[in-house]
Structure 1
Amino acid sequence: MPRMNTPPNVPRWARLAATGAALTNVPSGLWRVAIAAGVPVGLAQSEYDQLDAPGWGSFSLIGLSLIAEVFGFLALGLVRTWGETWPRWVPGLRGRRVPVLPVTVAAGLGTLAVTVYGVLFVYASLHAEMAADPWGIWLLNAVYAPLLLWGPLLGAVTVHYYRRRTRIDPVRV
């Protein structure tokens, strides 16, 4: 795996975990976009009607997918240089160090939120009465299953980010 804009002290496992965290949203996002576009994914017509998709509900499905992808992408900042130093395209902040504590708190809260969401989704899907086809329920579970990994992966990378950024380097002291 190439080290694209990765600080030299980021181990391979952290890069892989951050990439994994960023990619956990892709299957469910594609599933929601398919529903928004009217592609049959095994749901019953009543479930499409409840989502108002295709229709005005498509905007919320696509919006949710985009928001989830943006938050997933931010996990990469924990292992990239733009998570340590503001990129040059950020006016007023370019070149300055990114503060560790706000990033760590935000990533920690994100870890908690996506872990709880993943667990609650699994619980709800196991207890929900759906009129979907069996293959539709299987597909729903298959595309949402990766979200169970989002919290643990993000948590591991967050702890690594905090430790790496707050460690006292004897060479720099």
Structure 2
Amino acid sequence: MPRINALPDVPRWAALAAHAVPLVTLPSGLWRIALVAGLPVAAEPVRTVGESLYVLSLTVVSEALALLTLGLVQPWGETVPRWIPLLGGRNVPPLAAVIPALAGATALFGLWGWVGYVMAANLAAGSVTDTPAQLVLLLACYLPLLAWAPLLTVSAIAYYRRRTPANGMLTFMS
């Protein structure tokens, strides 16, 4: 079985989870890019430059945040890369990575509750898509995002357990 690119002491399941995060965010980003490009993926096209910039920024930011998950299994998640001014070469305190990761996962869980409610209302009203094909494409591109929060959660917990002594705070999860 081929090795996933990760530190040697990272469990395979944790490396797979961390590497899956950027992949589950990619389809929605591609859908948003198609929307900005004017492809018929939704009922309403993006109309203004401001809307286009917002949609593209959302895509870039979400993919960048997803890529940060790789730091939970890569060397740069344990030691700040040397090229970063003032911090380069220093060890990353485990909680400096775990707290933002778990806060992000919590935000994603909450966001999905709200987005699910809004999407259900909009889909029921028929205001998001015009055709069944558009609806299928929208769901195929956005449903993988549901995995982001749990994948980030297990990646952060694995990082914490690997980087802290056995008598640490989260040992109840052993």
TM over 0.5, yes or no? yes
Matched, 1:40 2:40: yes
Task: Tell me, in whole angstroms, the C-alpha distance in 1 between the residues paired with 2:110 and 2:4.
Answer: 31
Find the residue that maps to 2:40 and give its secondary structure: coil
Which 4+ runs in 1 deviate beyond 3 A? Answer: 1-4
8 Å CA contact 1:119, 1:148 repeated in 2: no
What code does the residue aligned with 1:159 have?
I
Find the residue that maps to 2:83 and give its secondary structure: coil
The equivalences for 1:1-173 within 5 A come to: 1-4=2-5, 6-41=6-41, 43-44=42-43, 47-48=44-45, 51-52=46-47, 55-128=49-122, 129-131=125-127, 132=129, 133-167=131-165
Task: Tell me, in whole angstroms, the C-alpha distance in 2 between the residues paired with 1:37 and 1:126.
Answer: 25
How many residue pairs match? The answer is 162
Displacement of 1:140: 1.2
* RMSD of aligned residue pairs (Cα, Å): 1.7
Displacement of 1:123: 2.9
Find the residue that maps to 1:30 and give its secondary structure: helix
**Sequence identity, in percent?**
41
Displacement of 1:118: 2.4
Cα shift readout 1:114-171 (whole Å, capped 9, x = no counterpart) = 12222332332222222422221221111110110000000001111111111259xx
Task: Tell me, in whole angstroms, the C-alpha distance in 2 between the residues paired with 1:3 and 1:119.
Answer: 32
Displacement of 1:3: 4.6
8 Å CA contact 2:106, 2:149 repeated in 1: yes
Displacement of 1:113: 1.0
8 Å CA contact 2:69, 2:152 repeated in 1: yes
Find the residue that maps to 1:93 and give its secondary structure: coil
8 Å CA contact 2:4, 2:16 repeated in 1: no
Task: Tell me, in whole angstroms, the C-alpha distance in 2 between the residues paired with 1:35 and 1:141.
Answer: 14
Displacement of 1:23: 1.5
Find the residue that maps to 2:68 and give its secondary structure: helix
Task: Tell me, in whole angstroms, the C-alpha distance in 1 between the residues paired with 2:27 and 2:111.
Answer: 16
